[in-house]
Structures are given as C-alpha cells and as structure tokens.
Structure 1
Amino acid sequence: MTTTVLPPDLRTRLTDYARLLRLDRPIGTLLLLWPTYWALWLAAEGMPSLANLVIFTLGVFLMRAAGCAINDFADRKVDGHVKRTKDRPLASGRVKPAEAVALFLGLALAAFAMVVLFTNTLTLYLSIGGLVLAFIYPFMKRYTHLPQLFLGAAFSWAIPMAWAAEAGEVARLAWLLFTANLLWTVAYDTLYAMVDRDDDLKIGIKSTAILFGENDRAIIAILQSLVILVLAMIGHQAGLGGFYYTGLVVMACLFIYQQHLVRYRKRDACFAAFLNNNWAGLAVFAGLVLDYLW
C-alpha cells in the first residue's frame, strides 16, 4: 500500500494560499457566522430550513476567505511594515497579487452562485450589495478614519440576506439586528486596530483606534452598551424570554472582561480582547436557540 505525498513545492503553495485566506485563523469566520445565525433563527422564529443553514454557513466561509484575499491585495504594500502582518504570503512575495485577485473573484462567484441557484430574487439583489461592500472595505483605511464602519456594514450584510432567504422579506427587526451587529463590529474591530495603532500611525493607515485616541476604551464601552441595548430591544419585540436575556448578560460580562484586558492597551491584551468576542457572539446565539427550544 502506497501513500501519496504532495510534492514539497505544491504543499508550500497550498499552505501559502491557506494562510492568505486565513484558513488557519477562523476567528473572522466565526464573528461573521454568529450574527448570520441570529438572523436565520429570528426570521424563522425557531429552527431555520436546513437548506438555508447550509447555504449561509458555506457562504460565510467563502466570503470571509474572499475578503481576506482582497484585503491582503489592498494592503500588499503596507503589510510588510506592520509587525503583525509582515510575514503574510502576499506581503512577503510568496503569493502574487494576481493570484489574490483570482482567489477573491473565484470565491465570491462561488458564493454568488449559491445565492442564484438556491435562494430567492430578493436575496439575490441583496447579495450584490454584499459583494460591493466586501470589495471596497479594504481600501477605506486610506481615505477615512472609519474603515471599521465599512467593515461593520460588510459583516452585517448577511443579516438582511439571511432574513430574506428564510422569510421572503426583510422585516424591520432585521435592520435593528443589522444596527446591533454594526455597532458590535466597530467595537471589536477597534480593539483589533489598537494592536497595530503604533505601526499604522507611522505608515499613514487610518482607523477608529487612531481617531478615538485616548478615548478609545470609553467609546468602545459606549458602543458595547448600545449593542446590549439594541439586542434587548430585539428580544422585547420578538417576544423572547429568559434564555435569550441570559445570553445578553453573558455578552455584557464578556464586554466588561474585555475592558479589563485592555486597561493598559498592550498589543497582546488588545488582541485577546478582540478574540474574546467569539464567545460573546456564541452566548447570544446559544440563548436564542435555547429560548426557541423551550
């Protein structure tokens, strides 16, 4: 019996592609997945269809990977000057810019094809907005101190899409959820931007972490408080109960913990606080699922 081993050059190439698409760092996929699941469960008022669950899970994975490819293409000339990103495949020259663009287009088209083939017309129209946001976000950090706002819109666009696919319309509650997730994304991506703030200042990259300055922690706390408030409003309007609100309490406790982590604004602590948001999103999802079950 023989075992097929990939040639070293091909194995290295595939590893570089995987790193470009952040397959080794699933945090971005998870942060995109939780609010998409919130929308599916709320739109269905319980368990969504298996088809939509599969479509949007795969769509999140594909679009996050596509977003990473186009992000590194946009940042290919600056990532080498940032401590955290200097070894990325595109910045170090191991992957060519044309390859990154090709991966973005291929993954985005695959996600778009799933929408065309397996959802409805409204979801199809909404998906065009999602593609535009995914493409333009990485370039915004050169023109505005609010690129996190564009990321928030891009990461939240799956909410009206999922709602439309499950319910055939986009209810007002979906846009309230969109608002909550946009606020949450700006908060946690500001924590992420605080990791690179010193490097970004040197090379002229803009971010909310730079814009907020010494008020960063206070503004993040305000954003986090608004997230809890809007999610509580959603719970009230949707008639949700104790399990859902317990999830919100857990999220609030995690936000307090994140504030504790970044009290000295150390790089590693800011990154840890950013990563901790995965558990905050999971807490809300778990509360939502349990509430509909019982």
Structure 2
Amino acid sequence: MFFSTKDTGPVADAVKQHWVDTRLPVWARPYARLARWERPIGWWLLLWPCWWSAALAAIASGSAFPDPYHLVLFLIGAIAMRGAGCTYNDLIDQDIDAKVERTRSRPIPAGQVTRTQAKIFLVLQAAIGLAVLLQFNTFSIILGVCSLLPVAVYPFMKRITSWPQFFLGMAFSWGALMGWAAAFGELGWAPVILYLGGISWTIGYDTIYAHQDKEDDALVGVRSTALLFGNRTKPAIFGLYALATALFAVAASLADAGPAAFAGLAAGAIHLAWQALRLDIDDAAECLKLFRSNAAYGWLIFGGFVVDAAIAAI
C-alpha cells in the first residue's frame, strides 16, 4: 500500500524540472513532494538557529569551532523534521490547500497519496528525528521533545489568529535553544535572546512568503500577518528585522562575542534591509525570491560567529 502512489505531476509552485520530478522513482515522488525535498529553503530556515546557537556556544566556551558532530546531527534532524512538519501541516490543511490555487496540486489534495500513506510517511520521518535527538544529552532530549508543542499547534493558528507566523517562529526558532543545550546541558540568557530574535526574524520572512497567497487566504478565511499588515507590510518588515538584529546582537554580547560576530550581524542587517526595500507585496515571484534569500542571510550570521570563535581561540 505504501508504494501505491499516483503521480499527477509536480506541485504548482515547485521548482520546474527538479530532481524530485525527473529522477526519483514514480512511486517516491509524492512523498518527496510532501517533505518538500525539492525546496531546501525550508530545512535551511529550520537549521540556521541550531547552527547559530552551536556557534555561539563555541564562542562562549572558548572553542575554535562548533562541535562538527552536533552540526551534522542538526542538519539531518532539520531535513527530517522539516519534512515531517510539512507532512503534518498538509494533513491538517487538506481542506484549505484544496481551495488555494498555489497548493491544490500538493500530494494529498491532488490524490497522489492517501491520508494513511501520508501518516505512515510522517511517522517514518519523525522516527529519524527521534533517532537524531537521542544522540544528545538528557537535557537536550527533554528540550527537543518540548518543541513538539509549538509544532503541533501551528497549523491551527491560521484559523483563529492573525499571528500564525508568531507560532511558526516559536517552532522554527527552537534550534536557537538546542545548539546551546547540546553543548552545555543547560540554557542561558544568550540562547533565550537568540530564540526571541529568531521568532521576530521568522515572522518577517514568513509574512513576505504569505503575501503570495493573500487573495486566496482572504477568500477561504485563513488569517496571516500578510493580511493583518496589508499596505503597512514594508514598515512592519523593517521593524521586525530591526528587532531581530538587535536581539541577535544582545545574544552575541551575552556570549562574549567579538568584532567578527558583530561584523556578520552587520552584513546580515544590510541583507535584511535590502529585502525590506525590494519588497513588492503584489509581486508573488519577488516575494518568493526574497523569502528564499534568507538562506544567504543565515550564512552571514553563522560565518561571523564561526570566524569569531576561531579568532578568539587563537
């Protein structure tokens, strides 16, 4: 039953002629689309807070580089749990996805997989995530399990609040706590402030993303910060990104970071300002491009932290 899928074609907003649609066996393509394997930006956005936190922990501990083993575990975990989260969201949002032009071609509403098949796939991905989590210390394991709460409630928030992006931020930024906890077996103010900054950053970039669907969302009754901010989105993005940058700087200070870390944050701030300046909320393609550019932003912050740790350890 698991292999009896139906390939009705790629998802409307997916990258055209991607390896998922051209190289995978036909039966596997719907599962890859469920996990969004053809769109790595999702797991990058989940991964960055983990790697930033691990790099801040290296600075605070005097290490020359974040623990490579932890970085690899976070990478595997981010890919697995992002896929599991997308599968879970698609199960919850089947009725909404079927009414929205950009999402009605997703595997579940398009009939490529059954709900039972999607649930089995969800469990398999979650099992990989659990296997990764069990490699860390006990405190990190407990902390990681706690992350399931914001993950579980997020898909329902668009039905009851105009701030579903806040709850997405709580889920996607959890790694800001995990990297530090994996290194020290406890939390401190630096990772907590990093987490709060991650929430602000997430609200910003996902508001940009949500502008792609604002007309359909309004018709089907789905709420978002894109609809809430409306024509005030550009100043709202500036404010959210400024807050995120300020909180990241405070977190770096609390970890005793040096000039290289703040240089990375400054470069990142320029990138975020570019996003806000370029934003055209009525240009869906531009919104998607700006959203995806946050992968590059992550490298700027991580690079600054890593270089700073290396310099401090000399």
Q: In structure 1, how many angstroms separate the alpha carbons of the residues matched to 2:51 and 2:103?
A: 30
Deviation at 1:119, TM superposition (A): 1.5
Aligned position for 2:83: 65
Aligned position for 2:201: 184
Q: Which amino acid aligns with 1:239?
A: D
Q: Residues 204 and 164 (structure 1 numbering): CA distance in 2 closer, same or farther, change over 3 Å?
A: same
Q: In structure 2, how many angstroms separate the alpha carbons of the residues matched to 1:208 and 1:251?
A: 23
Which shifted more, 47-56 or 215-224?
47-56
Deviation at 1:221, TM superposition (A): 0.9
| Cα RMSD after superposing both structures | 1.7
Q: Which amino acid aligns with 1:230?
A: L
User: Which of residues 143, 151, 159 in structure 2 aligns to 1:134?
Assistant: 151
Cα deviation per residue 1:130-162 (whole Å; 9 max; x = unaligned)?
A: 122222211221121111111100011122222
User: Which of residues 292, 297, 309 in structure 2 aligns to 1:280?
Assistant: 297
Q: Which runs of 5+ in 1 are unaligned?
A: 1-7
Structure-2-length-normalised TM-score = 0.86
Cα deviation per residue 1:157-193 (whole Å; 9 max; x = unaligned)?
A: 1222222111111111110000110110011011111
Cα deviation per residue 1:240-265 (whole Å; 9 max; x = unaligned)?
A: 22322221222122122212322453
Structure-1-length-normalised TM-score = 0.92
Equivalences for residues 40-55 of structure 1 within 5 A: 40-45=54-59, 46=63, 47-55=65-73
Aligned position for 1:17: 31
Q: Is the 8 A contact 2:190 2:252 kept in 1?
A: no
Deviation at 1:286, TM superposition (A): 0.8
Q: In structure 2, how many angstroms separate the alpha carbons of the residues matched to 1:254 and 1:83?
A: 31
Q: Secondary structure at the match of 1:142?
A: coil
Which shifted more, 192-201 or 42-51?
42-51
Q: Which amino acid aligns with 1:293?
A: A
Q: In structure 2, how many angstroms separate the alpha carbons of the residues matched to 1:165 and 1:256?
A: 32
Q: Which runs of 5+ in 2 are unaligned?
A: 1-5, 8-23
Q: Secondary structure at the match of 1:77?
A: helix
Q: Secondary structure at the match of 2:147?
A: helix
Q: How many residues align?
A: 286
Does 1 or 2 have the higher relative contact order (CA < 8 Å, sep 6+)?
2
Equivalences for residues 107-126 of structure 1 within 5 A: 107-116=125-134, 118-126=135-143
Deviation at 1:66, TM superposition (A): 0.4
The structure with more helix, counted as a fraction of residues: 1
Q: Is the 8 A contact 1:36 1:158 kept in 2?
A: yes
Q: Percent of aligned positions with the same letter in both sequences? A: 37
